Amino acid sequence: MPVNTENMIKVFGRPKSMTDVRSTYCPGCHHGILTRIIAQTIDELGIADRTVTIAPVGCAVFAYLWYKCDAVQASHGRASAVATGIKRANPKLIVLSYQGDGDFASIGTAESIHAANRGENITVIFVNNQVYGMTGGEMAPTTLIGQRTTTTPAGRDPGYFGYPIRFSELIATLDAPVYVTRQALYDTRRIMDAEKAIKKAFTYQVEGKGYSLVEVLSTCPTNWHMSPVDANRHVTEVVTKAFPLGDMVDRG
């Protein structure tokens, strides 16, 4: 029987600023959810025509494919520096630096810390999946104690490899950042919280208030050698204990 759609209300759809391109992310990876949230935020704030996305090396490398806005690809770890240059050259632009944990908190440590310390008026999305996702599953600075990776096959030993770095907490000790938060995407409530946090981070940039960092805990089923369901549960039950959720700084 034909369905009468005349009086139906559309309650969900692809954001206008999101391209109709097939995702390259692995099944169960939270990058896809995060991509949609960012596009939705760009739509809600009406900033697509002046948004520039910085896509560095790693799983974030194809970020320029997902949005109907300008983008620049940066060398590994240098996204915050490139974002700084673009924002200073044209302060009217809305600049998003989209970075993974290996990129933001290891290879780009200096660029990340100093951009935050200067209070650059940019928005940084920091995806923390505790591993180098694209380059082979190596240990990242956020890899958990005992976690097995291709470079820690027996598990991360803190006596040899050190402890996981809580990078957002480090950034939160600085005086300049206006907003620092850690969110997750493992259920509907957390997705809604992440949506609010990301919108706030972009809004603060639109208002010229300064540097915002949104860390997002993500799964990596492929390199964790877990099913998507188990990976999601792992974030819920294990990862959030090492990396507690919530706002750390909100000076807006």
Would you say 156 and 147 are in contact if contact means Cβ atoms under 8 Å apart? Answer: yes
Give 125's DSSP letter. E
| pLDDT tens-place string over residues 19-56 | 999 988 999 999 999 999 999 999 999 999 999 999 99
The domain of 100 spans 31-250
Q: Specify if 24 maps to a domain.
A: no
84-103: average pLDDT: 97
Residue 125: CB atoms within 10 A of its CB come to: 28
- Return the pLDDT at 59: 87
Using an 8 Å Cβ cutoff, are 193 and 183 in contact?
Answer: yes
**pLDDT for the residue numbered 1:** 63
Whether residue 22 lies inside any domain: the answer is: no
Structure token digits, residue 28: 């169960």
Q: Are 149 and 131 in contact (CB under 8 A)?
A: yes
Domain presence at residue 4: no
Section 10-14 average pLDDT: 79
The amino acid at 184: A
10 inside domain: no
Whether pLDDT at 63 is above 90: no
Q: Higher confidence at residue 3 or residue 74?
A: 74
pLDDT, mean over the chain: 94
For residue 172, is it within any domain? yes
The answer to whether residue 152 sits within a structural domain is yes
Strands 179-184 and 94-100: unpaired
- Token pair recorded at residue 46: 């009406």
pLDDT of residue 224: 96
Q: What angle do CA 135, 140, 146 make, to 5 degrees?
A: 120
CA angle centred on 143, ends 142 and 147, rounded to 5°: 165
Confidence at residue 133, expressed as pLDDT on a 0 to 100 scale = 86
The predicted structure's pLDDT at residue 135: 84
Query: Is 184 domain-assigned?
Result: yes
Is the model's pLDDT at 7 over the cut of 80? no
Average pLDDT value for residue range 221-228? 95
- Over residues 220-224, the mean pLDDT reads 95
Give per-residue pLDDT as tens, 119-131: 999 999 999 999 9
pLDDT tens, 164-193? 999 999 999 999 999 999 999 999 999 999
C-alpha–C-alpha distance, residues 37 and 67, integer Å: 11
Percent pLDDT > 90 in the chain is: 87
What is the domain-level CATH number for residue 192?
3.40.50.970
Task: Identify whether 5 is part of a domain.
Answer: no
Segments in the chain forming alpha helices (H): 31-45, 79-89, 101-102, 109-117, 158-161, 167-172, 188-206, 221-224, 228-234, 240-242
Number of domains in the chain: 1
Spatial distance between the Cα atoms of 158 and 169, rounded to a whole number of angstroms: 19
Residue 4's pLDDT is what? 73
Query: Where residue 86 falls among pLDDT bands split at 50, 70, 90?
Result: very high
Q: List Cβ neighbours of 108 (8 Å cut-off, separation of 6 or more).
A: 56, 76, 77, 78, 79, 80, 81, 99
Please say if the pLDDT value at position 155 is more than 90.
yes
Those residues whose C-beta lies under 8 Å from the C-beta of residue 180, and which sit 6 or more positions away, are 168, 171, 172, 212, 213, 215, 247, 248, 249
pLDDT of residue 8: 77
